[in-house]
Amino acid sequence: MNAKTLKTWLSVHSGIGIAAGLLLFIAFYAGALTLFHHEIEEWSAAAEPPAGPPPTLADAQRLLDGVLAQAPKMAADMRLQLPHDGHGLRAYGQDPATKTWRSFELGADGQPREQRERGELGEFIYRLHYTVGIPGAWGTYTMGVVSLLYGLALVSGLVIYLPVLARDLFALRWGRNLKRLWQDAHNAVGLLSLPFHIVFAWSGAVLCIGTLLLAPFQFLVFEGKLLALIGPQAGFSRPVQASGTPASPLNVEQLVAAATRAAPGLEVERLHIRHHGDAAAQVEADGVVHERHLSGAARVELSGTTGALLHPVQRPASYGSGTALLRGLQTLHYGDFGGLALRWVYFVLALAGAFLFYSGNLLWVESRRKHQQAAQPRRASVMARLTLGVALGCIAGISALFVGTRVPGPDRFADAVQPVYFAVLGLCVLWALVRPLPKAAFELCVAAAALTGCIALADAAMLGPRLLRGDLLLWTVDLTALLGAALLLLLARATRHRARNGAPHSVWALGA
Amino acid sequence: MWARSLAAGLLGLPLTVGVVGLAALLWPGPLRDHALVLLVCACPVWVGALALPFQLRSATRAWIVMTAITALCFAAIHGLKFIGWVRIA
C-alpha cells in the first residue's frame, strides 16, 4: 500500500475516534457494569427489608386478572414476565385505551400496582449503555451508527497496523518516549482483543439498528414479503386476528404446563398473550432450554384456549442458520453463556475497550503537539479537555449514582438518578473546559477516585453490621470500587508528575 | 477526505442493500432458509462498503465505483425478477 492510502486510512481512524470515541467510551464503561446488572440491582436493594416468599404462578394469574380488570383493552396484546433469575413478576404492554406503555407489578395487598417509569440504578446504567443518555429511540439509532463506525475504525486500525504488526505486537517500549509507550499499548490492546471487538461492533449494530435495516430490504428487494418470510426466525411475533367470539382462556399454570409439554426442559420466562378471552387467542411462551448450544432461547406458540401447539417449537437444536447466527451474536454480546468467570473476563475486556478509546483520543492530541513552541493547536487542547471531561465525568457520574443509592430518603433515589448523572457529567466537562488543563486533569481524576471510593464508605456507613456479617455481594462491590478508586489515584499521580516534569511544550504541562 | 466520506455515507447503504439483496436472491435453495443469515451479514458488508471509498485511488473513482456496483446490483435484481428467474415466495 502506498503512503498516500495509508495516510487516508490514518485520517479515517482518527476521524472516527474524534466523532465516536467518547460515545464508545461511555457505552463500554456502562456496558462493563451492565454485565452485572442483576448484582447491581440486588446491591441497590440491600438496604430494603427482605422480600417475601418468591411469587408463584398463582400470583402471576392474580396479577394478570387484576391488570385486565383495570385495563381491559390490554387483553389484545400483553406480556407477562414470570419470575426468573433476578427478574420479578411483571405484566406489561401497550394500553390501546391510553396509547401508552404500561407496566404493573403485584402489590403487597395482592392488587396490581402500576410501576412508574423509574430510573433505577441498574436500569439507568443499562440504558446509558445503549443510548449514551440520548432520549428516545434516537439514542439507540445513534449507537447503531456508532457501532458501524466502530467497525470501520477496526478495519482502518488493522490496515494501518498490519505492515508493522509482526515487529511491534509484543513490543511495549518503556522509556523516555511516552507517546511510543501509549501507542504500543493502544495497538496491543486493540489487536489482542480484536475478536471481542469484531463481535461487539457486529452485534451492537444488529441489536441497535437491525430491525430498522430490514426496511430497505423489505421494500427494495423483497417486495414487501420479507417479514412473512423471516419474521418468526428473527424472533418477531406472528400477526394474530381476533375472531370476535369469546372463549374461556387457559390459566397461567395451564399455559406453562402446555408449553413445557411441547418443549420438555423449557424454563418459561415470559408469556406473550394476544386476544385473551377470544376464541382465537394465542400465547407465545419464551424461555430457555439447556441444550449445550451457545444460545438457549426457545419459543413455543400455543392456542390460548386449548393449549394446542400452533407451530413447530423453536429451540436451539432446531434453529435455522439465520436464527442460530442472530441468537449467537446476541448471546455473545450479553456474555451470559459462561457463568460468573466469563462475565469477569468480559468486564476486563470491556474496560480494556474503554481504555482503547481514551488512549486513542489522547494519542491524537499528542501527535498534534508542536515540540518546539509553547503555543499548541487549539483543536488539540479542546479535544484533550473533552476527552478528560466526558470520560472521567462518566466514571464520576456513575459512581455518584452508586453513592446516592445509599442516601436514605422517602422514595429512595430513583427519581434523581438521571439528573444527578447528567449534573456530575456536565460539571466535569465544564471543569475540564474552564480550568487550566493540567490542573483539571489532576482534579478530575481525584474527584472521580473520591466518588468511587465513597461507594465503599457509604456501604460501611449505611449497612455497617451487615457488611461485617460478610455479604459476598457487598464485599465484591466495595472492593471493586476501592480498586477503581486506587487506579484513578494512580492516574492522578501520573498526571501531576507529567504536568511538573514532562515535556514543557505539551497541553499537559503546567506553566507551558 | 470529505468527498470520500460523503460517498461512504450516502452510497454505503444502497450498495449494501444491492449486494446483499442480490446475493440472497441468487443463493441456491428456498429464500426462507438463507435470507436471515445474509441479512445479519449485511452489517459487516455495510462496514466493508464504508471502507471501500478510502481504499480507492481517488474520490472521483470512489463515487464512480460505488455508484456502478449499486446500479448493477439493482439492475440485476429487477432484471432477474422480470425474466422470472427469481421469485419472492
Q: What are A37-85's pLDDT values in tens digits?
A: 989 988 887 777 766 778 889 999 999 999 999 999 999 999 999 988 7
Q: Which chain B positions have a beta carbon within 8 Å of A12's beta carbon?
A: 54
Residues 6+ apart with CB under 8 A from A24: A146, A150, A353, A354, A357
- With CB atoms and an 8 Å threshold, state whether B39 touches A217: yes
Question: pTM score > 0.95 for this model?
Answer: no
CA B8 to chain A, closest CA, distance in angstroms equals 11
Going by pLDDT thresholds of 50, 70 and 90, the confidence category of residue A298 is: very high
Please report which residue ranges of A278-377 form alpha helices under DSSP H: 321-334, 339-367
Q: In this complex, which of A152, A226, A329 lies closest to B50 when CB atoms are compared? A: A152
A·B CB contacts under 8 A: 95
- With CB atoms and an 8 Å threshold, state whether B54 touches A201: no
Say what the pLDDT of residue A415 is. Answer: 76
Q: How far apart are CA A32 and CA A129, in angstroms?
A: 9
Q: Which chain B positions have a beta carbon within 8 Å of A318's beta carbon?
A: none
Backbone angles phi, psi at A301, to 5 degrees: -105, 120
Q: Which whole number is the average pLDDT over A73-101?
A: 88
Task: Please state whether beta strands A100-106 and A297-303 pair in parallel, antiparallel, or not at all (unpaired).
Answer: unpaired
Query: Considering only alpha carbons, which residue of chain B is nearest residue A324?
Result: B37
Q: Which chain A positions have a beta carbon within 8 Å of B43's beta carbon?
A: 147-148, 151, 202, 205-206, 210, 213
CA distances from B43 to A71, A132, A447, B50, B67 (A): 41, 21, 40, 11, 19
Say what the pLDDT of residue A326 is. Answer: 95
Q: How far apart are CA A340 and CA A57, in angstroms?
A: 29
- With CB atoms and an 8 Å threshold, state whether B51 touches A320: no
A217, three cell numbers: 430490504
Which of B64, B48, B47 lies closest to B7, judged by CA? B64
Q: Which chain A positions have a beta carbon within 8 Å of B5's beta carbon?
A: 15
- With CB atoms and an 8 Å threshold, state whether B40 touches A325: yes
CB-based contact A499:A438 (threshold 8 Å): yes
Going by pLDDT thresholds of 50, 70 and 90, the confidence category of residue A119 is: low
Q: How far apart are CA A495 and CA A294, in angstroms?
A: 44
Higher pLDDT, B42 or A101: B42
The CA-based angle A351-A353-A354, given to 5 degrees, is 65
Lowest mean pLDDT among A173-177, A222-226, A364-368, A379-383: A173-177
Q: How many helices (H) and strands (E) does chain A have?
A: 15, 7
Dihedral (CA of A243, A248, A252, A255) sign: negative
Lowest mean pLDDT among A20-24, A292-296, A428-432, B57-61: A292-296
Q: Which chain A positions have a beta carbon within 8 Å of B48's beta carbon?
A: 155
DSSP A292: S
Query: Considering only alpha carbons, which residue of chain B is nearest residue A152?
Result: B47
Say what the pLDDT of residue A185 is. Answer: 85
Say what the pLDDT of residue A455 is. Answer: 94
Q: In this complex, which of B1, B25, B50 lies closest to A148 when CB atoms are compared? A: B50
Say what the pLDDT of residue A412 is. Answer: 61
pLDDT in tens, A356-390: 898 888 888 888 877 667 677 788 888 899 999 99
Lowest mean pLDDT among A15-19, A265-269, A477-481, B58-62: A15-19
CA B34 to chain A, closest CA, distance in angstroms equals 7
Q: Which whole number is the average pLDDT over A269-288?
A: 94
Say what the pLDDT of residue A176 is. Answer: 66
Query: Considering only alpha carbons, which residue of chain B is nearest residue A151?
Result: B47
Burial (Cβ within 10 Å: 0-12, 13-18, ≥19) of residue A412: buried
- Tell me which of B36, B78, B81 to substitute to probe the interface with A (most A C-beta atoms closer than 10 Å): B36
The answer, for B3 touching chain A at a CB cutoff of 8 Å, is no
Q: Which whole number is the average pLDDT over A154-180?
A: 79
Whether A117 has a pLDDT exceeding 70, the answer reads no
Which stretch, A10-19, A43-52, A446-455, has highest mean pLDDT?
A446-455
- With CB atoms and an 8 Å threshold, state whether A229 touches B25: no
SS3 A157: helix
Residues 6+ apart with CB under 8 A from A280: A240, A241, A242, A243, A245
- With CB atoms and an 8 Å threshold, state whether A5 touches B55: yes
Q: How far apart are CA A141 and CA A116, in angstroms?
A: 25
Say what the pLDDT of residue A374 is. Answer: 67
Going by pLDDT thresholds of 50, 70 and 90, the confidence category of residue A467 is: low
Whether A192 has a pLDDT exceeding 50, the answer reads yes
CA B47 to chain A, closest CA, distance in angstroms equals 6
Q: In what order do the strands lie in the sheet with A297-303?
A: A112-114, A100-106, A90-95, A77-81, A267-274, A282-288, A297-303
Higher pLDDT, A361 or A333: A333
- If contacts are CB pairs under 8 Å, which of residues 37-76 in chain B contact chain A? 37, 39-44, 46-48, 50-51, 54-55, 74
Per the listing, cell 498526571 goes with: A495
Say what the pLDDT of residue A98 is. Answer: 86
DSSP A317: G
pLDDT over 70 for what percent of chain A? 94
Say what the pLDDT of residue A512 is. Answer: 44
Q: In the predicted model, what is the mean pLDDT of chain A?
A: 89
Whether A27 has a pLDDT exceeding 80, the answer reads yes
- Tell me which of A1, A143, A207, A217 to substitute to probe the interface with B (most B C-beta atoms closer than 10 Å): A217
CA B54 to chain A, closest CA, distance in angstroms equals 7
Higher pLDDT, A394 or A101: A394
- With CB atoms and an 8 Å threshold, state whether A151 touches B17: no
Whether A129 has a pLDDT exceeding 80, the answer reads yes
Q: Which chain A positions have a beta carbon within 8 Å of B55's beta carbon?
A: 5
Query: Considering only alpha carbons, which residue of chain A is nearest residue B76?
Result: A221
Say what the pLDDT of residue B39 is. Answer: 96
Which of A40, A37, A119 lies closest to A481, judged by CA? A40
User: Largest Cα–Cα distance in chain B?
Assistant: 43
- With CB atoms and an 8 Å threshold, state whether B47 touches A151: yes
Say what the pLDDT of residue A188 is. Answer: 87
Whether A502 has a pLDDT exceeding 90, the answer reads no
SS3 A289: coil
CA A311 to chain B, closest CA, distance in angstroms equals 16
**HEC states along A86-148?**
CECCEEEEEECCCCEEEEEEECCCCCEEECCCCCCHHHHHHHHHHHCCCCHHHHHHHHHHHHH
Say what the pLDDT of residue A479 is. Answer: 94
Say what the pLDDT of residue A511 is. Answer: 62
